[in-house]
Structure 1
Amino acid sequence: MYDLTGFQRDLLYLVDGLNDPHGLAIKDELEEYYEQEIHHGRLYPNLDTLVEKGLIEKSQRDKRTNEYTTTRRGTREIEARVEWEDQYINRDTAD
C-alpha cells in the first residue's frame, strides 16, 4: 500500500466500506469528503490501477455499471495500514 497515492488509498477504503460499491456511489462519497467535484477522468483510471495491483476486483452489474469489491490482498493491506497508523495516533484522551 506504500506505493498508493492518498486518493487511491481513499478509494480502497471506500470500496471496502461501502455496500455494493459502484462508480457513482464511490464518486458521491469522495465528493462529499473532498468537498469538490471528482471527474471521471480521475476516478476510473485510479480504480483501474487498484484492480491492476490486485487490491480490488471489478465486475459488471449491468451494461452501464461496474461494481467493485476488495480482494483478500486489499483487505490485508488495509488491516496492515490501520495497524501501522495506530502506533502513531494517540487515542488516549485521559490527559
Structure 2
Amino acid sequence: MYDLTGFQRDLLYVIAGKDEPHGLAVKDELEEYYESEIHHGRLYPNLDTLVDKGLVEKGERDRRTNTYSITRRGQREIDARDEWESRYTDDE
C-alpha cells in the first residue's frame, strides 16, 4: 500500500467498507469526507489503478454501472496498514 496515493488509499477503504459500491457511491462518500467535489477524471483512473494492482475487483451491475469490491490482497493491505498505523497511534 506504500505505493498508493492518499486518494487511492481512501478509495480502497471506502470500497472495503461498502457492499460492492458503484463508482458514484464511492464518489459521494469521498465528497462528503473531503467536503469538495471529486471529478470523474480523477475518480475513475484511480479506481482503475486499484484494479490493475489487484487490490480491487471491478464487476458490472448493468451495461452502464460498474461495481467495485475489495480483493483478498486488498484486505490484507488494509490490515497491514492498520497494524502499522496502530504502532504509532495506540496508547500503550
> Shorter-chain-normalised TM-score: which range?
over 0.9
Please tell me the root mean square deviation across aligned C-alpha atoms, in Å.
Answer: 1.0
- Amino acid in the other structure paired with 2:8: Q
**C-alpha separation between the residues in 2 aligned to 1:50 and 1:86?**
24
Q: Which one has a bigger Cα radius of gyration?
A: 1
Aligned to 2:54: 54
**C-alpha separation between the residues in 2 aligned to 1:39 and 1:65?**
17
SS of corresponding position for 1:2: coil
SS of corresponding position for 2:88: coil
**C-alpha separation between the residues in 2 aligned to 1:90 and 1:49?**
31
Task: Extract unaligned runs of 5+ from structure 1.
Answer: none
Whether 2:37 is the aligned partner of 1:40: answer: no
- Whose helix fraction is larger, Structure 1's or Structure 2's? 2
**C-alpha separation between the residues in 1 aligned to 2:34 and 2:90?**
25
Superposition deviation, residue 18 in structure 1: 1.1
Q: Which runs of 4+ in 1 moved over 2 A?
A: none
Task: Extract unaligned runs of 5+ from structure 2.
Answer: none
- Amino acid in the other structure paired with 2:42: R
Whether 2:10 is the aligned partner of 1:2: answer: no
Q: Give aligned pairs, total.
A: 92
